[in-house]
Amino acid sequence: MSVFDKNTATSTSEAEEITPRAEFRVFGQGIIDIVRLAMWKAQAKLFKIRQSEEIYILSSQTNDANVKIRDGLLDIKIKVGETDEGYEIFQPRGKFSFPANKEDLLTIFENLLVQISAEQSTYTLEEFLTLVDESRELTAVSVEKERYGFSVDGVICEYAEVLFNGALVETACAESTDYTAIENVINTLEIAEFENTNYLKAAKQVIGMS
């Protein structure tokens, strides 16, 4: 399964069968120029370009629950560890279509470390976002991405332009189930000296959320 595959609903049990990838990701300005030049030197070629509009649900209580809405699906991944090098490992926990079941939403809120009362048996996307908006600990952030996917030595990579609530930031990453291969690739792409930062932390930095 590629990060550029078509987004489809996935149950919790199906998600748990997915082998989690470790990821090294950087954000900043001027990153794309660095990566493009390094790609040319490494003779890497683009294989996919994708644009998407997403909503990330940020919690002031944790950076270990990656919750977002993309293609109408509520997607959750949970940080389950780090490699010895500090690359983060996020395990998929499911992609749920709307209207979403109350039980699934409560599990997501639990992973976001917030307590929210959900009285209905199902929630539409708009009703879910209302619950988020009413919480003092949660913030919904609009995220627009233009992603360019490629691979180096079998490791999935990308660079992208990202808008967090309209603020433009550049990003690049390498991710793989072969955790030891990532280090060589990020050195090849000349991004190893940048701080390893996931989407949640980057979004919080941009919008000023503690």
Within 8 A by CB and 6+ apart from 43, the residues are none
pTM: 0.88
List the structure tokens of 22: 């470790």
Instruction: Looking at the chain, list the stretches that DSSP marks H as alpha helix, in order from N- to C-terminal side.
Output: 12-16, 31-42, 102-111, 125-134, 179-188, 199-207
What local confidence, expressed as pLDDT, does residue 118 receive?
A: 87
Per the prediction, the chain carries an average pLDDT of 91
Neighbours of 173 (CB within 10 A): 27
Q: What percent of the chain has pLDDT over 90?
A: 79
pLDDT bin (cut points 50, 70, 90) of residue 205 is very high
Residue 37 lies in a domain: yes
Structural domain boundaries enclosing 93? 12-207
d(CA 58, CA 111): 11
| Mean pLDDT lowest among 40-44, 60-64, 165-169, 172-176 | 40-44
pLDDT bin (cut points 50, 70, 90) of residue 4 is very low
Within 8 A by CB and 6+ apart from 80, the residues are 20, 89, 90, 91
Residue 28 lies in a domain: yes
Residue 177 lies in a domain: yes
Residue 4 lies in a domain: no
Residue 7 lies in a domain: no
* pLDDT tens-digit map of 121-147: 999 999 999 999 999 999 999 999 999
Q: What percent of the chain has pLDDT over 70?
A: 91
pLDDT bin (cut points 50, 70, 90) of residue 6 is low
What local confidence, expressed as pLDDT, does residue 9 receive?
A: 58
What local confidence, expressed as pLDDT, does residue 116 receive?
A: 93
15 pLDDT above the threshold of 90: no
Mean predicted confidence (pLDDT) in 61-88: 94
Residue 5 lies in a domain: no
Mean predicted confidence (pLDDT) in 153-157: 92
What CATH number does residue 132 fall under?
2.40.320.10
What local confidence, expressed as pLDDT, does residue 3 receive?
A: 47
Neighbours of 10 (CB within 10 A): 20
Report the DSSP beta bridge partners of residue 89. 22, 81
Q: Considering just the CA atoms, what is the radius of gyration of the chain in Å?
A: 17
Q: What 3-state DSSP class applies to 190? A: coil
The number of distinct structural domains making up the chain is 1
What local confidence, expressed as pLDDT, does residue 179 receive?
A: 84
Residue 6 lies in a domain: no
Residue 84 lies in a domain: yes
